[in-house]
């Protein structure tokens, strides 16, 4: 039988999204399972297998029509098919996920970093289509990145090149990051970072804000964005702070790869110009003159699920 479909998978800190993709890049059907409910990865793999079989039952030919599975995962190692020391996942150490999933479903599996998968999806179908030099920044629970130079994703010697979310932005007394270090970009420019900024302001100032109507430990970046959109000054300042932190970091990233554009992707981008305006201003303030005004900052053109699913699925066509 002609194996005319692949499955692309986006593993996030809370959920994993799976989609059946055809040769034209259409995501035909999707399924979602929890990532954060099992400390034991073998139990997660069982859920994963059940989700794959459920998807296969909905397409002509079932499992026999699926060529393979491509996975985008935090700290995914393209060379070894492993997830290694991912700070936002409950499975610690080195997890041979491609091997475990392949054994469970009886199909070939290839795995890469989630942000690299999103970059491939964006280059093939989205805002980076036609570009050969760009950086993809994913702004979700954490901050990920995929670097494309000369049309190729940069993996480096060990498969982990491009951990831009863990470049140090605040060297002295910086926030503790999930990776165990302090001052990482991820601790400030992620959705979690926005919520932390909000809590710090509420704890250290008496500035009036509608955020005080929300239990402090329950504040999310979505609620900060909603308050900012309604003119709440504290919430606007939170996004200005976040955007300027990210923009200054982007200026450093431009200096090493001279990209045509930087593509921002993920839940935090739903804030729109509340985030983008300070990002662009801070980036240009910190760029060398030869790059000022020459590097475009763009939001992803793909919806949040499809970009990583499509990028991951591209791996499976190689199997």
Q: Summarize the confidence of residues 110-118 as an average pLDDT.
A: 89
pLDDT: which is higher, 45 or 124: 45
Residue 189: count of CB within 10 angstroms of its CB: 29
Residue 16: count of CB within 10 angstroms of its CB: 22
Residue 52: count of CB within 10 angstroms of its CB: 24
Whether 1 and 24 have beta carbons less than 8 Å apart is answered as no
The per-residue pLDDT for 124 is: 82
The per-residue pLDDT for 206 is: 96
Q: Is 5-119+305-316's fold the same as 130-301's?
A: yes
Q: Summarize the confidence of residues 6-13 as an average pLDDT.
A: 92
**Phi-psi map region of 62: left, alpha, beta (phi>0 left; psi -120 to 50 alpha):** left
- Look at residue 242 and tell me whether its pLDDT is greater than 80: yes
CA pair distance 73, 307, nearest whole angstrom: 13
CA pair distance 147, 133, nearest whole angstrom: 8
- Where in the chain are the domains? 5-119+305-316, 130-301
- Look at residue 1 and tell me whether its pLDDT is greater than 60: no
Q: Summarize the confidence of residues 200-221 as an average pLDDT.
A: 96
CA pair distance 141, 308, nearest whole angstrom: 15
State the CATH class of domain 5-119+305-316. Answer: alpha beta
| 46-103 residue pLDDT tens | 999 999 999 999 999 999 999 999 999 988 999 999 999 887 789 989 999 999 999 9
| 160-207 residue pLDDT tens | 898 899 999 887 889 999 888 999 999 999 999 999 999 999 999 999
Of all residues in the chain, the percent with pLDDT exceeding 70 is 99
pLDDT band at 118 (very low <50, low <70, confident <90, very high): confident
CA pair distance 185, 50, nearest whole angstrom: 36
Whether 199 and 219 have beta carbons less than 8 Å apart is answered as yes
Question: Per DSSP, which regions of the chain are E strands?
Answer: 5-11, 15-22, 27-34, 66-73, 76-77, 82-84, 94-95, 109-113, 134-139, 143-149, 152-153, 261-265, 296-299
Q: What is the pTM of this model?
A: 0.84
DSSP H or E segment with residue 181:
none
Q: Say which CATH superfamily domain 130-301 falls into.
A: ATPase, nucleotide binding domain (3.30.420.40)
């Amino acid at each position: 039988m002609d194996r005319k479909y692949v499955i692309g998978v986006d593993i996030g800190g809370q959920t994993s999204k799976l989609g059946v993709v055809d040769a034209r890049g259409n995501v035909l059907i999707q399924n979602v399972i929890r990532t954060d409910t099992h400390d034991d990865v073998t139990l997660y793999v069982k859920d994963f297998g059940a989700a794959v079989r459920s998807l296969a039952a909905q397409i002509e030919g079932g499992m026999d029509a699926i060529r393979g599975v491509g996975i985008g995962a935090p700290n995914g190692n393209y060379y070894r098919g492993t997830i290694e020391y991912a700070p936002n996942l409950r499975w610690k150490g080195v997890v041979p996920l491609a091997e475990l999933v392949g054994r469970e479903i009886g199909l070939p599996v290839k795995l890469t970093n989630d942000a690299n998968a999103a970059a491939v999806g964006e280059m093939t179908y989205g805002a980076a289509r036609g570009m050969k030099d760009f950086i993809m920044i994913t702004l979700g629970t954490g901050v990920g990145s995929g670097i494309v130079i000369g049309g190729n994703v940069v993996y480096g010697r060990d498969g982990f090149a491009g951990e831009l979310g863990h470049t140090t932005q605040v060297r002295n007394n910086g926030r503790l990051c999930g990776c165990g270090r302090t001052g990482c970009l991820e601790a400030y420019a992620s959705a979690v970072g926005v919520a932390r900024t909000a809590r710090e302001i509420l704890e250290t100032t008496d500035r009036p804000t509608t955020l005080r109507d929300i239990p402090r430990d329950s504040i999310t970046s979505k609620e900060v964005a909603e308050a900012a959109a309604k003119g709440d000054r504290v919430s606007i300042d939170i996004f200005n702070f976040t955007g300027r932190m990210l923009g200054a970091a982007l200026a450093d990233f431009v200096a090493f790869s001279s990209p045509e554009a930087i593509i921002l992707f993920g839940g935090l981008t739903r804030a729109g110009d509340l985030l983008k305006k300070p990002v662009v201003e801070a980036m240009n303030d910190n760029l060398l003159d030869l790059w000022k005004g020459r590097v475009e900052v763009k939001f992803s053109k793909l919806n949040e699920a499809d970009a990583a699913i499509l990028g991951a699925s591209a791996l499976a066509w190689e199997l």
